[in-house]
Amino acid sequence: MTRKPTIATVAKHSGVAMSTVSRYLNGHYVSNAAKKRISTVIARLGYTPSTTARNLSLGRRGSIGVVVDSMLDPWFTQLLAGIEEELSVRDASLMLASLEHKGNYDPGVAFRWIRERRIDGLVIAKSQKRERSLLHAAIDANLPVVTIAPDEAVQHAQVIGCSNVAAGMTVADHLADLGHRKIAFIGGPAHSIDSKHRMRGLRNRLRQLGISLDLETTAFCGSYEAEAGVETARILLAKPLHITALVMANDALALGFMRAAQQRGLRIPEDLSVVGFDNLPEGALVWPGLTTMSQPMQEMGRAACRRLFESIASPVDFEKIEYSMTLIVRESTARPRD
């Protein structure tokens, strides 16, 4: 059985020291003559560097961790696609963990990653107040952290997010252009930065246009899940409807609301226009299709992965990267009947 060539074999056939081959493989300075000999020998022997050995020499594990509330979240599946795409060009593996299991919050797996130094960096999607201890544990362990769309202010970590205030303003312009003057907002959890900023952009732009947000109907839900949208429909439609457009803080809420509202005989958009945020794939499959503000989720996933590996390679300044959101107009919005 032919033995797999090692770095020592390459050094011997190239007539250079092993340290020279190591410098060449890691992109450091090597003379042109040595480069030529080493590259020729590597090609002839079919040598491939050992990722495991390289990680060990650098004190790394060759794996990153990604945590999210639930793997079933359709928002997260788009994000994960971007992370995997960026990861495919790197010599590293991916470890995934859900923070909620059968309705119970359990960050134990992620804490073990940190405590046992099983990962080189951590991505936290939609971190909120309850993830503070997890975030602090990673920072205390000198583990690079990237947060994506955090629901509260984050320090000592890279932040990837969207310009939610600007997105809310875009929705206001869209509805005002259609002729709507009676507009309400339904947010996710009241502590959510995304909900607050989306409502702020909507309210401020409407005010500039001489329109007041309907505060009697505006409210916040206990979660961002579709079930909360269903409950919103039950409460809102229990009395006469006096608004013509409803903006919901994410697509899951909007889709849950639309289904329950239509079951109760409400016509969308004839009786009520509905707008969401995120551009989940399901929004294009239902009827009427959901008008929404689209987040570039895959690009955000790629950016998070890139920033994490940059932080792993060497210390970097903490920064926040914000992406613009794009209005996707579908059938759930139209001019009001009046």
pLDDT digits (tens, 9 = 90+) for 242-257: 999 999 999 999 999 9
> Residue 232 above 90 pLDDT?
yes
pLDDT in the model for residue 311: 86
Confidence of residue 233 (pLDDT cuts 50, 70, 90): very high
pLDDT in the model for residue 333: 98
Choice between 42 and 102, residue whose per-residue pLDDT is larger: 42
> Residue 58 above 80 pLDDT?
no
Please state which of the ranges 129-133, 159-163, 213-217 shows the lowest mean pLDDT. Answer: 129-133
What confidence tens digit (pLDDT) does each residue in 260-311 have?
999 999 999 999 999 999 999 999 999 999 999 999 999 999 999 999 988 8
Contact between 335 and 179 under an 8 Å Cβ cutoff? The reply is yes
Task: Kindly give the interhelix angle for 74-87 and 297-313, rounded to the nearest 10 degrees.
Answer: 50
pTM of the model: 0.77
Residue at 327: amino acid letter: L
Confidence of residue 56 (pLDDT cuts 50, 70, 90): very low
Which CATH fold topology does 63-162+297-325 show? Rossmann fold (3.40.50)
Domains 7-49 and 63-162+297-325 share a fold: no
What confidence tens digit (pLDDT) does each residue in 104-118 have?
888 888 899 989 899
Residue spans of the domains in the chain: they are: 7-49, 63-162+297-325, 165-296
Contact between 193 and 150 under an 8 Å Cβ cutoff? The reply is yes
Q: What percent of the chain has pLDDT over 70?
A: 94
What confidence tens digit (pLDDT) does each residue in 151-207 have?
877 878 889 999 999 999 999 999 999 999 999 999 998 888 899 999 999 999 999
Half-sphere exposure of 227 (CA within 13 A, CB side): 2
Q: Whose CA is closest to 295, among 285, 305, 287, 303?
A: 303
pLDDT in the model for residue 27: 62
- Torsion sign, CA atoms 258, 264, 267, 272: negative
> Mean pLDDT score of the chain, rounded to an integer?
87
Please state which of the ranges 7-16, 143-152, 304-313 shows the lowest mean pLDDT. Answer: 7-16
Choice between 41 and 145, residue whose per-residue pLDDT is larger: 145
Q: Does domain 7-49 have CATH number 1.10.260.40?
A: yes
CATH of domain 165-296: 3.40.50.2300
- List all residues 6 or more positions away from 251 whose beta carbon is below 8 Å from its beta carbon: 276, 277, 278, 279, 280, 282, 283, 290, 292
How large is the average pLDDT for residues 315-330? 89
pLDDT in the model for residue 51: 53
pLDDT in the model for residue 57: 46
pLDDT in the model for residue 219: 92
pLDDT in the model for residue 26: 63
> Residue 1 above 50 pLDDT?
no
> Residue 24 above 90 pLDDT?
no
Confidence of residue 77 (pLDDT cuts 50, 70, 90): confident
How large is the average pLDDT for residues 75-98? 85
pLDDT in the model for residue 33: 85
- Torsion sign, CA atoms 235, 270, 337, 175: positive
